[in-house]
Amino acid sequence: MSESDDRPTGSAQGAVSRRGFLGGAGGLAASGLAVGGIAGAAGGFAAGYGTPAPAAASAAEVAHPFYGSGHQAGIRTEPQRYTVFMSYDLTTSVARDVEVLLARWSAAIAQLAKGLTVGSVEPHRPDAVGVDSGEALDLGPEGLTVTIGFGPGLFDERYGLAARRPRHLAELPAMPSDQLQPALTGGDLSLQACADDPQVAYHAIRTLTRMAKGTATTRWTVTGFGRASAGPTQQTPRNLMGFKDGTRNIVDDADYERWVWAGSDDQPWMTGGSYLVARKIHIATETWDTDRISDQNAVVGRTKVEGAPLTGSREHDVPDFEARDASGQPVIPATSHVALAAHENNGGVKILRRGYNYTEGIDALGQIDAGLLFLAYMRDPQQFITLQTKLGRVDRLNEYIAHIGSAVFAVPPAARQGSYIGAELFRS
């Protein structure tokens, strides 16, 4: 929950056109292929098993390609309405097992992003088990993107990859006001599935998790809705506190290059990649709801309905942090969220936010268990550490929120056609 800069400009991505892949849940791993043959297998193993979805409404036909020559989809892509985020622990000590999983995941995601199944839903033989669970059948692509991240554990002594560890990848330090729960922290791999239909996002994570059995197990997950950031053609959404969220997000190419994409100072295989900080933030919504509106506005530093800074009248007015009221106090309180997070007050530091709201029923106190799945991309996690260290100390929002989950991941660039995510890591 931080202010960064302007609104993001998602690069438009056209419909994909790649042949189907991946017939069986055991397919590639059971094939006994040498590591050198994984890329070729990822391009064509059991092609044709994908089943096209029937004709759908135009909104359902939006498809973002998985393969490319630049950044993974799901970062600069205009935020979809729903997400399922999953963190995984690797259970194998063999690097080749990890490589095979990434190859299978890549091929499967390419299928899913086109609205295709991954294997048969209803096999011809009555004693056969369906490979695809089928709950997304007929729904179409729905703008699905699945973004893969590598946690610090991938680069420990198990896999011989320490020399290729991304320069800025390390566990996040303890920060002021953290209330992290061990069960909601860390992970060796991550998947962020986003779509405009929640069932499509869920199906993607379900399918990919089944593929991981024997190589990785689930660690923690959050199902999100109501995106808490906006693309250039989208109206700024609201978080569960009722305020617009994502007003000052990164917008232009220069800021993406400076603040989001990994640079030449990083590992060569990370060029075009980024870093993801994921935080699960609990919001005491029932306590927040009892606060008077004038105090809510002062806590955030913006008006609730319009989303304007307290020194302006429109949402995108630039905040004036020097303005004083009649008593000489800042019009935008120095301890407000806006004042503490604004790049003007942090040496220009910006991050790309891509968060979602979540709700998980009732907590142990009998209150609504809800909050924000904070997802942010950046060139160096130190950008987040700089902001959150400051926010954790004096942000008045801390009266109503608690950071209970946390993880950091290196997000490699997009896989090239015929290859897979992380191939360069295992080859360099």
190 in a domain, yes or no? Answer: yes
Residue 393 lies in a domain: yes
36-81 confidence digits (pLDDT tens): 445 444 443 333 344 444 444 466 889 999 998 799 999 999 999 9
Give the Cα separation of 37 and 423 in Å (integer): 11
Q: Is the pLDDT of residue 199 over 80?
A: yes
Asked whether residue 85 carries a pLDDT value surpassing 60, the answer given is: yes
Give me the percent of the chain exceeding a pLDDT of 70.
Answer: 86
> Do the domain assignments include residue 160?
yes
> What confidence tier does 276 reach under pLDDT thresholds 50, 70, 90?
very high
Q: Is the pLDDT of residue 127 over 80?
A: yes
Give pLDDT, residue 1. Answer: 61
122-126, 238-242, 341-345, 407-411, range with the lowest pLDDT: 122-126
Report the candidate in 340, 342, 345, 369 with the shortest Cα–Cα distance to residue 357: 369
Quick one: pLDDT at residue 283? 97
Is 232 a residue whose pLDDT tops 90?
no
In the structure, what pLDDT confidence band is assigned to residue 145 with cuts at 50, 70 and 90? very high
pLDDT at residue 258 greater than cutoff 70: yes
Does the pLDDT of residue 106 top 90, yes or no?
yes
Question: Does residue 31 lie in a domain region?
Answer: no
> Is residue 3 very low, low, confident or very high in pLDDT (cuts 50, 70, 90)?
low
**8 A C-beta contact, residue 145 and residue 194:** yes
Residue pointed to by tokens 């800074």: 309
Residue 318, domain member (yes or no): yes
Q: What is the C-alpha to C-alpha distance for residues 47 and 32, in angstroms, rounded to an integer? A: 18
Q: How many structural domains is the chain composed of?
A: 1
**CA distances (Å), 232 to each of 6, 173, 213, 252, 352, in order?**
10, 33, 39, 10, 13
- Domain assignment present for 377: yes
Domain of 419 in residue numbering reads as: 59-425
pLDDT, average across residues 176-180: 96
pLDDT of 228 above 90:
no
Percentage, residues of the chain above pLDDT 90: 81
| pLDDT tens digits for range 200-217 | 999 999 999 999 999 999
Give the Cα separation of 372 and 381 in Å (integer). 19
Quick check: is 134 in a domain?
Answer: yes
What pLDDT does 23 receive? 32
Nearest CA-CA partner of 303 in 397, 345, 295, 5: 295
For residue range 341-378, list pLDDT tens digits in order: 999 999 999 999 999 999 999 988 899 999 999 999 99
pLDDT, mean over the chain: 88
Flag whether pLDDT at 168 surpasses 60. yes
Query: Is residue 37 in a domain?
Result: no
Question: Which residues neighbour 168 within 8 Å (Cβ) at sequence distance 6 or greater?
Answer: 266, 275, 379, 380, 381, 382, 410
> In angstroms, rounded to a whole number, what is the distance separating the alpha carbons of residues 214 and 226?
34
Neighbours of 287 (CB within 10 A): 11
Q: What is the pLDDT of residue 427?
A: 82
